[in-house]
Amino acid sequence: MNQQTKYWNVDNIVDGLEDYPQIQEAAELLRRNELIAFPTETVYGLGGNGMEDETVEKIYTAKGRPSDNPLILHIADRMQLDELVSEVPPLGEALMEAFWPGPLTLVFPKKSGVAMRASAGLDTVAIRMPDHPLALALIQAARLPIAAPSANLSGRPSPTTAQHVLEDLDGRIAGVLDGGPTGIGVESTVVDITGDVPMILRPGGITAEQIAEITGEVAIDPGILSEEAAPKSPGMKYRHYAPQGQMWLVRGDTIEEMTKSIRNAARRAVEEGKKVGILATKETFREYDGEYTVITCGERRDLISVARRLYDVLRQFDQESVDVIFAETFPEGGVGTAIMNRLTKAAGGHYL
């Protein structure tokens, strides 16, 4: 597993992407069952031919990912769906119409007779059409459904830049297309549409509120936010996005109470000789005066900016080798649900 990882910078290219030699070369490697990392609107994906079991196996190996965790197949047009699913439930039709291309993954009944390592033995298959010109051009040029988990080593924060991808996977994959930092910063929302009511299995870029506007009703897997109930989506049961330092989430009835609790905890930790990290926001970072590594993660009044910065901030704490991280918490609802889901996982469910 030591190969030369090619690097193509395709940031700032806009028109006729499919014709660019970098895209052609990357697509050709995908057709030859090599692994290529590419940007999507959420996070960078580690792509491989989703129809080839051995290639999918290579994805699991490159990431060090548990192999009972199924992958999302990425497509570039509706036609590709027919080869993969046995039916499109009416719920699916409406959601695709509203949100594709976009950060919404739908779990469909899988077409029978299609053996797929990517869906890890389930009779369903997760599919999404990413809203990123580079991703779409690559999939189109490869003419394949592309299996793509986030392009990080298992247990590391998902990558939101090509640099993050190389930190984790340099030498383990055939290439990476650099399209600049991703926009949304947290992964797609995964929704099971095989039942009567859509069920959110993983909160993400499309919010429950947006889905309810289309479908009327929406259910949320109770396993998503609590550490007790077992989540329905195989991938949610693993401790994801774990920073190297122990992370504690800090609540408070008001922002002032929250920042005060963090100040107290941080002071005690420093007294114990620990190197302390604090995940703060633009509105609050000035509250933490001391020997701390304070990193600002967006603005509280614009949670989209928090989501965009989150994984990069978690990686920065690792780089700073902090022993303990105290993280501010955010209101649930909207993209706040996805932010708190990822933070809860990173902290292993630990609240101060």
Q: Residue 17 has which token pair?
A: 């992407």
Asked if 329 is part of the footprint of Mg ion (rule: CB under 5 A), the reply reads no
Q: What is the CA radius of gyration of the chain?
A: 20
End-to-end Cα spacing for the chain: 41
Q: Which is nearer to Mg ion, 163 or 296 (CB)?
A: 163
194, 148, 141, 132: which is closest to 23 by C-alpha?
A: 141
40 binds Mg ion (CB under 5 A): no
348 is written with which tokens?
A: 């292993």
Cis check: omega of the bond before 101, within 30 degrees of 0: yes
One residue of 5, 80, 105, 316 binding ligand TXA per CB under 6 A: 105
Query: Binding to Mg ion by residue 284, rule CB under 5 A?
Result: no
By CB under 6 A, tell whether 236 contacts ligand TXA. Answer: yes
Q: Give the residue, chosen from 13, 88, 114, 122, that forms a contact with ligand TXA under the rule CB under 6 A.
A: 122
> Per the structure block, which two tokens stand in for 16?
């006729």
Structure tokens at 66: 């548990």
Is 145 within 8 Å of 74 (Cβ atoms)? yes
Nearest CB to ligand TXA, comparing residues 240 and 300? 240
By CB under 6 A, residue 235 contacts ligand TXA: yes
Window 8-37: contact mask with ligand TXA (x via CB under 6 A)? ------------------------------
Distance CA 330, CA 155 (A): 23
125 binds, among Mg ion, ligand TXA, none (CB under 5 to 8 A by kind): ligand TXA
Which x/- pattern, by CB under 6 A, does the window 40-79 give for ligand TXA? x-xx-x-----------------------xxxx-------
Query: What's the rounded Cα separation, in Å, for the pair 186 and 219?
Result: 20
| Shorter beta-carbon distance to Mg ion: residue 130 or 280 | 130
> Residues 109-140, buried b or exposed e (16+ Cβ, 10 A)?
bbbeeeebbbbbeeebbbbbbbbbbbbbbbbb
Would you state the structure tokens that stand for residue 293, as one six-digit string?
């590594």
Query: Going residue by residue from 119 to 158, which x/- string records binding to Mg ion, judged by CB under 5 A?
Result: -------------------------------x--------
- Which chain residues interact with ligand TXA by CB under 6 A? 40, 42-43, 45, 69-72, 103, 105, 107, 119, 122, 124-126, 130, 148-150, 187-188, 190, 201-202, 233-236
- Which chain residues interact with Mg ion by CB under 5 A? 150
